[in-house]
Amino acid sequence: MFAVTILGNNSAVPAFDRHPTSQVVTLDGTNYLVDCGEGTQIQLIKYKIRRGKISHIFISHLHGDHYFGLIGLLNSFGLLGHQQELHVYGPSPLKEIIELQLKVADTTLCYPLHIHHITEATTLVDTDKMSVKCFRTNHRIECYGFSFSEKKKLRKLDLEKAKQMEIPAVFYDRLKDGMDYVRKDGLVVKNEDVTLPGEPGKKYAFCADTKYDESLIPHIEGADMIYHETTYLDNLRERAESRFHSTTRQAATIAQKAGVKKLLIGHFSSKYDTLEEFEAEAREVFPNTELALEGVCYEV
Which one, 208 or 285, has the nearer CB to a copy of itself? 208
Dist. CA 28–CA 1, nearest whole Å: 7
Q: Are 31 and 105 a contacting pair, CB within 8 Å?
A: no
Is 17 catalytic? The answer is no
Q: Given candidates 4, 7, 12, 233, which one binds a copy of itself under the rule CB under 8 A?
A: 12
* Nearest in space to 91 (alpha carbons), one of 63, 121, 117, 124: 117
Nearer to a copy of itself, 67 or 278 (CB): 67
Hey, how many other C-beta atoms are within 10 angstroms of the C-beta on 114? 11
Positions 74 through 93 that interact with a copy of itself (CB under 8 A): 75-76, 79-80, 93
- Verify binding: residue 69, a copy of itself, rule CB under 8 A: yes
Report strand pairing: 225-229 vs 203-206.
Answer: parallel
Single out the catalytic residue among 17, 28, 35, 65. 65
Does position 109 bind a copy of itself by CB under 8 A? no
Q: Give the C-alpha distances (Å, rounded to integers) separating 281 from 48, 230, 231, 234.
A: 32, 11, 13, 8
Note whether 157 binds a copy of itself by CB under 8 A.
Answer: no
Could you say which DSSP state residue 81 is in?
T
Contacts of 107 (CB under 8 A, 6+ apart): 75, 78
99 is an interface residue for a copy of itself by CB under 8 A: no
The residue from 22, 24, 38, 278 that contacts a copy of itself (CB under 8 A) is 38
**Interface residues with a copy of itself (CB under 8 A)?**
12-15, 19, 38-39, 41-42, 45, 62-64, 68-69, 71-72, 75-76, 79-80, 93, 96-97, 100-101, 104-107, 140-141
Positions marked active-site: 65
